[in-house]
Amino acid sequence: MKDIKNKIIFSAAQPSGNLHLGNYLGAIKQWIDLQNNYKSIFSIVDYHAITIYQEPQKLREKILETAMIYLAAGIDPKKSIIFVQSDVREHTELAWILNTISKISELELMTQYKDKVKKLRSNVSVGLFDYPVLMAADILLYKTDFVPVGEDQKQHIEFARMLARRFNNLYGEIFIEPKEIIIKEGARIMGLDDPEKKMSKSAENQNNYIALIDEPSLIKEKIKKAVTDSGKEIVYDLEKKKGIANLLTIYSLVSSKTIKQLEKEYKGKNYGEFKKDLGEAIVYFLDPLQKNLKKLKENPANVKKILKNGAEQAKIIASKNLEEAKNKIGINY
């Protein structure tokens, strides 16, 4: 048994657009505390991002910006490994191996895939279909114990767990069955333009999300436009008032006030007042991160150095574990 200090955390985000408040509240925020207690590995998963077409110059920028957001949020390269997925080739190599034990029928059940198919229709790549296998490789490659993620990734972690078990049964015990860590509040922040769907980087409507890099005026504007309902009361009701419930969740997480406290505070007040205060609370909450980000952007060379150094550290673990897997299969002579 590993003691807690040796347990491994792995998590990642795709540089497929602007990281948003959902990514932060659902995932990144947890990483900051976890890195103090676990061996932590955080990746910028660019090979996942290209499962949907990305404009190359924009992708280049978003890879670096995502890394800067990790650092600005408080991920400390002295405590955690931060690296870009494509810098560690072992990820795609293990993904190929795991492809050979994954079933098409299992991948067809993935909710995120099915949602994206609805949006993309016939323009769906094999890569998008195979996304959960690459994600399982990302996780298993480091013999990860825990994966802190938002609710939307739960099914993918279950799949990774199942692949670890299947590999171990077929070839011998080497992979750890990873468990997800999902926080109670904020694990599924909904879109501001449509509270039925999760907040998403790839949403067509920019008013769907609050990007972590949005200017204060834009943040306030987006909150003002957030979809609510025709009622008047500011109460948490997930059935009848999904929009307000989502805004209350966000407000609670950015202000550290409970939803009950907020309901009391806004009793008798109107949506306009509530939204105005929420916009300001988000701006205030994101201010330190945005200030840190501005400083980091002045010296991209330094961030690139952190990433290259992180990739070297990741590679040491990844190459050893991949070799072990290859030996088990008989891919050595």
Catalytic status, residue 264 = no
- The CA distance from 151 to 302, in Å, is 33
- Which uninterrupted H or E stretch holds 31? helix 29-34
Q: Does 195 bind ligand AQP (CB under 6 A)?
A: no
Catalytic status, residue 179 = no
Interface region with ligand AQP, contact rule CB under 6 A, candidates 12-20, 119-127, 260-268, 311-319:
12-20
Q: Does 23 bind ligand AQP (CB under 6 A)?
A: yes
Beta strands in the chain (DSSP E): 8-13, 39-44, 80-84, 146-148, 179-181
- The CA distance from 251 to 229, in Å, is 17
Q: Does 199 bind ligand AQP (CB under 6 A)?
A: yes
Give the tokens for residue 47: 């090979």
With CB under 6 A as the contact rule, the residue among 155, 168, 202, 319 that binds ligand AQP is 202
Give residues 119-178 in contact with ligand AQP (rule: CB under 6 A): 149-150, 152-153
With CB under 6 A as the contact rule, the residue among 143, 201, 222, 275 that binds ligand AQP is 201
Comparing CB distances to ligand AQP, the nearer of 163 and 189 is 189
Give residues 229-258 in contact with ligand AQP (rule: CB under 6 A): none
Q: Does 62 bind ligand AQP (CB under 6 A)?
A: no
Give the tokens for residue 95: 């993904």
CB of 143 to ligand AQP, least distance (A): 20
160 Cβ contact partners less than 8 Å away, ≥ 6 residues apart: 132, 135, 136, 139, 140, 147, 178
Catalytic status, residue 198 = yes
Q: Does 200 bind ligand AQP (CB under 6 A)?
A: yes
Q: Does 180 bind ligand AQP (CB under 6 A)?
A: no
With CB under 6 A as the contact rule, the residue among 13, 50, 303, 307 that binds ligand AQP is 13
Give the tokens for residue 86: 């494509």
Interface region with ligand AQP, contact rule CB under 6 A, candidates 22-30, 32-40, 93-101, 324-332:
22-30
Cβ burial of 291 (10 Å; 0-12, 13-18, 19+) is: exposed
With CB under 6 A as the contact rule, the residue among 7, 26, 248, 310 that binds ligand AQP is 26
With CB under 6 A as the contact rule, the residue among 22, 178, 195, 310 that binds ligand AQP is 22
Q: Do the beta carbons of residue 226 and residue 275 sit within 8 Å?
A: yes
Phi and psi at 165, nearest 5°, equal -65, -45
267 Cβ contact partners less than 8 Å away, ≥ 6 residues apart: 234
In the DSSP assignment, the letter for residue 212 is T
Comparing CB distances to ligand AQP, the nearer of 210 and 325 is 210
Catalytic residue among 201, 220, 275, 328: 201
Catalytic residue among 7, 39, 143, 198: 198
Give the tokens for residue 135: 């994600």
- The CA distance from 98 to 255, in Å, is 43
DSSP secondary structure letters along 259-280? HHHHHHHTTT--HHHHHHHHHH
Catalytic positions, written as ranges: 116, 198, 201
Contacts to ligand AQP by CB under 6 A: 13-14, 16-17, 22-23, 26-27, 149-150, 152-153, 187-189, 198-202
